[in-house]
Amino acid sequence: MQSLILSTATRFLTGLMLVFSVFLLLRGHNEPGGGFVGSLVASTAFALYAIALGAKAVRRAVRVEPRMLVMVGLAFAIAGGLLALITGAPLFTGVWLDIPLPGGGELHVGSPLIFDVGVYLVVVGAVLTVILTMEEEIS
Dist CA 67 CA 50 (whole Å): 17
What pLDDT was estimated at residue 111?
87
What pLDDT was estimated at residue 33?
77
Q: Are residues 74 and 126 in contact, defined by beta-carbon separation less than 8 angstroms?
A: no
46 CB contacts (<8 Å, ≥6 apart)? 14, 58, 61, 62, 124, 127, 128, 131
Dist CA 127 CA 135 (whole Å): 12
Facing residues of 110 across strands? 96
Angle at CA 67, nearest 5°, toward 33 and 6?
A: 65
pLDDT tens for 32-46 read 778 999 999 999 999
What pLDDT was estimated at residue 44?
96
What pLDDT was estimated at residue 45?
97
What pLDDT was estimated at residue 109?
79
Q: Does position 29 have pLDDT exceeding 70, yes or no?
A: no
112 CB contacts (<8 Å, ≥6 apart)? 29, 80, 94
pLDDT tens for 79-132 read 988 988 888 889 888 888 888 888 888 887 788 888 999 999 999 999 999 999
What pLDDT was estimated at residue 31?
72
Dist CA 132 CA 55 (whole Å): 6
Helix H segments across the chain?
4-27, 35-53, 55-62, 66-87, 111-138
Q: Summarize the confidence of residues 65-84 as an average pLDDT.
A: 94
What pLDDT was estimated at residue 1?
59
Give 30's pLDDT tier (boundaries 50, 70, 90): low
- Per the model's pLDDT, the better-predicted residue between 31 and 91 turns out to be 91
Q: What's the residue count for the chain?
A: 139
